[in-house]
Amino acid sequence: MRIVIGGSSGLIGTELVDSLRKDGHEVLRLVRRKSVASSEIYWNPAAGELDFSQLIGCEVFINLAGAGVGDSRWTDKYKALILSSRVDSTSLLAKAAAEVKPKVFIAGSAIGWYGDTADQQVDESTPAGTGFLAEVVVAWEKAAEPARTAGIRVVNIRTGLVASKKGGAWSRLLPIFKLGAGGKLGSGKQYWSFISMRDEIAAIKFVISNSQINGPVNLTAPEPATNAEVTKAMSKVFNRPALFPVPAFALKTLLGEFSQEVLGSARVIPKVLLDSGFEFQDPNIESAMRTLATK
């Protein structure tokens, strides 16, 4: 297949491009600089710049673009960037899809949709929660509507915390744990809905090929874990003690408003994937952590 991807240089995008190309697909990368290869197409979502004619023949559109929510302190300016980078890129690619008519548009999303769910299990049928990230995700998913209105199959992949050594939450936690200085964050009772990188990539490819899947799909492991359970699994896998818990007030001082997301709880179940027959390689936190222990 011919596949075009926005956000191809990010944590997930880099792995996805490599995997799809190994499968024999032609992958076109949307880039914000002047293209230097035949596999690159220039775009500027903020300015609405994209030559739709270059996408003709693409059967799959994927957008994973968006400023990292944990990459900077949440000033008003950065919060505006978190929102605009997602909405602008999704909206532009959705308009392109409406014109070019691919078979499917895989639109990036996140479990931030649910807000803080405490210990309540939620799935794709659960209404949106409250808070900044929930508001962002609602707008993010709405931005894909032009493609859906045009009759394109749209899948909003609500990704959880991706377990990777190369970026995201665990790339920051691993060095601390390997030094024996890791510990639970806050009370440790908050649920982290995670997914291993290999399951993330496999799930995206699964929804591409399964024409019966539409709308929101949770990309999370079927066994969400509390932060204390995450800490315990990391301690076991890396054979390091977890002696130094980080109190909530320290996180609030260090991270500002973003600390609400670290201390918040999201117990998300991937009902659509499970009902569709997707098989997880890493259904629990210990298995996911073992993928980080390999070279």
Strands 40-44, 49-50: pairing is antiparallel
Q: State residue 34 phi and psi, 5-degree precision.
A: -60, 130
pTM above 0.85, yes or no: yes
Q: So what's the pLDDT on residue 61?
A: 98
Tell me the pLDDT tens digit for each residue of 175-198. 877 777 677 788 889 999 999 999
3-class SS at 278?
coil
Sign of CA dihedral 257, 259, 262, 263: negative
Domains and their CATH numbers in the chain = 2-164+193-221+268-281 (3.40.50.720)
Residue 24 confidence class, pLDDT cut points 50, 70, 90: very high
Sign of CA dihedral 231, 233, 238, 243: positive
H-assigned helices in 111-266: 132-142, 145-149, 168-178, 197-209, 227-237, 248-255, 259-263
H-assigned helices in the chain: 11-22, 76-100, 132-142, 145-149, 168-178, 197-209, 227-237, 248-255, 259-263, 271-275, 285-293
Tell me the pLDDT tens digit for each residue of 198-249. 999 999 999 999 999 999 999 999 999 998 999 899 889 988 887 667 777 6
Averaged pLDDT, 14-30: 98
Rounded to whole angstroms, the Cα distance separating 283 from 295 reads 21
DSSP designation for 126: S
